[in-house]
């Protein structure tokens, strides 16, 4: 039985939510394995819009098990509010349909405060442009061995000891940043109040998933963010604080690497990025504002962040970057999304590599100063004037759109397994079924 990992292959917002929702019909379990509510995944089903941040995109379909794995950092107050909101939209969420790994570290209010205080204090050029949701500080505490984890909520003494351990680190840090010391008792009380609302979903996820595998059930691993935001392989330090690439799927829920049969990379037909950091194919005027093509991509693609509402930076498709991220995630096939946004461009450009100090590179170098100096090398391809919006078969695509897709496949050295032509669930073209491959 195939298990499929879905990962973003650019800087996030590639349309992972839509594809995971579509594929979830073929899966039994949908599991998030990293990130937190910095993610924003939008699903559109028969005109109804669902915005998910911490919940796996499988919850909406019903009848499936959704899992929040230990690789995630979880804000319990946010989760309870998100569950409430999604329930109001008519989605059923119960301890039978949602499980949270007991070893999941929590995001506490102090993490968000620290995240935002650091960003505010950062000088020009050092700001990361985080979502301000405490993701980085929560992961720091995880590797610093001072997290409060889901299981700790069940025992009052353990909970207090965990909070004290965390505050031993945080209070001096806050003092240095001019933030008041934490009201320890109030934090403990807040945690005790939220505890039963979270504990009802807590489970040994590693065990549940290993049992499901033995029973022949199919797991769909849902990545958040994108490979270029990966803590190791992204454009460091302008990255998120987790491993985003496909290898994390196993660690992030507690199954072996052999459980991954197929990695589907989600790739937008152009490129976007929210937040700071290098972006070689960004479409800018000399004064740093979006140029006409960049504006057009942003407007047609509605490129505003689901989580923060920030305008996304837009650029041409960067094949060199996607070739690289397909390699680091072992992508077997891609889902190419938002092809419809390119409708009506007379000419399209594709970045095939970079020029750096007179040499041509076919990958983005690691050193930050070199990344910043990389000049994109473009090839031009003809656009198409017909609409691809809502297309559900190859036959509906104009010849030049097919040529564009074929050229993308050649340049990234990876086949297209799916195409997406609108936000709607069913406006998709399946070429290769990842679960059957
Ligand atoms: P994610 O973070 O990767 O799940 O992506 P987001 O949901 O943040 O952003 C993708 C946006 O594009 C969402 O608003 C989707 O509804 C929308 N979308 C997804 N696929 C398509 C597509 O093929 N065409 C168009 N026009 N919009 C799409
Ligand atoms: P989805 O799952 C796009 C970006 C932030 C910032 C950097 C670090 O919707 O694709 P963080 O709050 O994680 O410490 O911010 O990462 N970022 C995302 N960009 N899509 C996302 O998620 C993102 N999650 C984080 O904008 O540049
Ligand atoms: Mg998103």
The predicted-structure confidence for 48-95, as pLDDT tens digits, reads as follows: 999 999 999 999 998 999 999 999 999 999 999 999 999 999 999 999
pLDDT at 307: 75
> What is the tens place of the pLDDT at every residue in 380-396?
999 999 999 999 999 99
Position 229 confidence tier, pLDDT thresholds 50, 70, 90: very high
**How far apart are the C-alpha atoms of 252 and 103, rounded to whole Å?**
10
Ligand 1 neighbourhood includes 254 CB (under 6 angstroms): no
Q: How many CB atoms neighbour CB 251 within 10 A? A: 16
Q: Torsion-angle region of residue 126: left (phi > 0), alpha (psi -120 to 50) or beta?
A: alpha
Ligand 1 neighbourhood includes 277 CB (under 6 angstroms): no
Together in a domain, 324 and 369 = yes
Tokens of 135: 């993701």
Nearest CA to ligand 1 atom 27: 423
Chosen domain end from 142, 168, 198: 198
Together in a domain, 44 and 125 = no
Whether the ω angle into residue 237 lies within 30 degrees of 0, i.e. cis, is yes
**How far apart are the C-alpha atoms of 215 and 217, rounded to whole Å?**
6
Ligand 3 centroid to Cα of residue 305, in Å, is 7
- Selecting among 21, 37, 41, 318, the annotated active-site residue is 41
Ligand 1 centroid to Cα of residue 176, in Å, is 41
Active site residue 230: no
**How far apart are the C-alpha atoms of 8 and 214, rounded to whole Å?**
28
Q: Which of 8, 9, 10, 12 best tests ligand 2's pocket when mutated (most atoms within 8 Å of CB)?
A: 12
Tokens of 63: 């009848």
Chosen domain end from 145, 170, 198: 198
pLDDT at 262: 98
Q: Which of 11, 14, 42 best tests ligand 1's pocket when mutated (most atoms within 8 Å of CB)?
A: 42
**How far apart are the C-alpha atoms of 106 and 109, rounded to whole Å?**
10
Together in a domain, 182 and 230 = no
Together in a domain, 219 and 71 = yes
Buried b or exposed e, range 412-426, using 16+ CB within 10 angstroms: bebebbbbbbbbbbe
Residue 384 belongs to domain spanning: 267-436
Together in a domain, 259 and 276 = no
Q: How many CB atoms neighbour CB 362 within 10 A? A: 13
**How far apart are the C-alpha atoms of 351 and 343, rounded to whole Å?**
19
**How far apart are the C-alpha atoms of 38 and 56, rounded to whole Å?**
13
Under DSSP, is residue 384 helix (H, G, I), strand (E, B) or coil?
coil
Chosen domain end from 198, 222, 239: 198
**How far apart are the C-alpha atoms of 279 and 314, rounded to whole Å?**
9
- Look at the chain and report how many structural domains it folds into: 3
Q: Torsion-angle region of residue 320: left (phi > 0), alpha (psi -120 to 50) or beta?
A: alpha
Per the prediction, the chain carries an average pLDDT of 97
Tokens of 173: 């840090």
Q: How many CB atoms neighbour CB 295 within 10 A? A: 15
Position 1 confidence tier, pLDDT thresholds 50, 70, 90: low
Index of the ligand 1 atom closest to the CA of residue 20: 4
């Amino acid at each position: 039985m195939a298990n499929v990992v879905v990962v973003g292959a650019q800087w996030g917002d590639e349309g992972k939510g839509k594809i995971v929702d579509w594929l979830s019909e073929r899966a039994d379990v949908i599991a998030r394995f990293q990130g937190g509510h910095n993610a924003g995944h939008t699903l559109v089903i028969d005109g109804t819009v669902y915005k998910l941040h911490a919940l796996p995109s499988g919850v909406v379909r019903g009848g499936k098990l959704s899992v929040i794995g230990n690789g995630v950092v979880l804000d319990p107050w946010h989760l309870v509010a998100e569950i409430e909101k999604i329930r109001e939209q008519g989605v059923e969420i119960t301890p039978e349909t949602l499980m949270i790994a007991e070893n999941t570290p929590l995001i506490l209010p102090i993490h968000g405060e620290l995240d935002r205080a650091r960003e505010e204090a950062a000088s020009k050029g050092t700001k990361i442009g985080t979502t301000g949701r405490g993701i980085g500080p929560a992961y720091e505490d995880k590797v610093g061995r001072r997290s409060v984890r889901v299981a700790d909520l069940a025992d009052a003494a353990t909970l207090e000891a965990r909070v004290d351990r965390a505050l031993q680190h945080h209070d001096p840090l806050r003092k240095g940043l001019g933030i008041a010391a934490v009201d320890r008792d109030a934090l403990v009380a807040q945690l005790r109040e939220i505890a039963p609302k979270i504990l009802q979903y807590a489970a040994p996820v590693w065990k549940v998933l290993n049992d499901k595998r033995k029973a022949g059930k199919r797991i769909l691993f849902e990545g958040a963010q994108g490979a270029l935001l990966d803590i190791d392989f992204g454009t460091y330090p302008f990255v998120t604080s987790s491993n985003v690439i496909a290898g994390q799927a196993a660690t992030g829920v507690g199954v072996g690497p052999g459980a991954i049969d197929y990695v589907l990379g989600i790739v937008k037909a152009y490129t976007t990025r929210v937040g700071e950091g290098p972006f070689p194919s960004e479409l800018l005027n000399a004064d740093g504002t979006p140029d006409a093509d960049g504006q057009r991509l942003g407007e047609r693609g509605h490129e505003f962040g689901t989580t923060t509402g920030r305008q996304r930076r837009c650029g041409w498709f960067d094949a060199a970057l996607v070739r690289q991220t397909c390699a680091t995630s072992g992508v077997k096939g891609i889902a190419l999304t938002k092809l419809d946004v390119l409708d009506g461009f007379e000419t399209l450009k594709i970045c095939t590599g970079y020029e750096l100090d007179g040499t041509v590179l076919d990958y983005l170098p690691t050193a930050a100063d070199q990344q910043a100096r990389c000049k994109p090398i473009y090839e031009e391809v003809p656009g198409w004037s017909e609409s691809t919006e809502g297309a559900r078969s190859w036959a509906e695509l104009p010849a030049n759109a097919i040529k564009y897709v074929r050229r993308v496949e050649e340049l990234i050295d990876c086949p297209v397994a799916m195409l997406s032509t609108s936000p709607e669930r069913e406006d998709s073209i399946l070429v290769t079924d990842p679960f059957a491959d």
